[in-house]
Amino acid sequence: MPAPDLLCIDIGNTHVHFAARRGGVFDPITEIPTATLDAPDGALARLFSPGLPVAFCSVVPAATERLRALAAARGVDAWQLTHDQNLGLPVDYPRPAEIGQDRLANAAGARELLGPAPAVVIDLGTAVTFDIITTAGGYEGGVIAPGPALVTRYLHERTAQLPLVTDLMTPVTTTIGKSTVEAIRIGAVLGFVGLIQGLLDGVLAELAARGEPAPAIITSGGASAVIQGRLRQPIRDVPDLTLRGLAAAWALNRPRQE
């Protein structure tokens, strides 16, 4: 097995996802709670090595500082993907500093995967993001919506008697719930699919009205399993899209960092 040549880290609100790359192929992705990312003997800390480059993106400023401290303690200079880095495609957005770094990585990943072809990237995690990449404008922005786990948590926290439902992966086979838990699962899963379908239909209609060619639709993120096989359009699921985008952007920007 070849030695790792890059460690890519995606810091999210709830979890951190990371994997080492070996010979152009990523190891299986590891997921840990964001709260534990800098545990001295944790899974992430054990991968840090002075000879292994690190590329990361983060949507949690406090966690960013903790990662930098961990990297410094291991003698590693971690490179962060920000809006002013080269993504391999133009960014048509009034205030690019507002774009989540994971969304920038997804755009870079889609460009690395598809070349100049247009794409709609749907990243389904704690929050759901749609990122639109066109032939005319490059990265143009997108949509932000709640993920299914936020929906069930909000119901639990804002009502007196509804339980917290965490099982969103068991297939839903009916639209008539016979228990409170089943009713919540139906609402969260099938309602979530409807939300994604409605947003996707709107995006595709707007692009078509502008004369844009039909984009590829790429999904990623832990909640992508909820919509698999349920949308009208064909989709391609790429679980490591964010890490692939980090690696692609790191390669484009590395000369400026050395």
Question: Environment class of residue 227 by beta-carbon count within 10 Å: exposed (0-12), middle (13-18) or buried (19+)?
Answer: buried
Helix (H, G, I), strand (E, B) or coil at 165: coil
> The tokens 């460009």 sit on which residue?
111
Phi, psi of 133 (to 5 degrees): -120, 120
For residue 20, the number of C-alpha atoms closer than 13 Å in the C-beta half-sphere is 17
User: CA of 137: how far to CAs of 133, 140, 212, 220, in Å?
Assistant: 7, 6, 10, 23
CA of residue 172 relative to chain centroid, distance: 25
Which of 10, 38, 102, 240 is an active site residue? 102
End-to-end CA gap in the chain = 28
3-state SS of 181-203?
A: HHHHHHHHHHHHHHHHHHHHHHH
102 has catalytic annotation: yes
Contacts of 230 by beta carbon, 8 Å cutoff, 6+ apart: 193, 197
CA distance 175 to 202: 25
State the greatest distance between any 2 C-alpha atoms of the chain, in Å, as a whole number: 61
Catalytic amino acids? 102
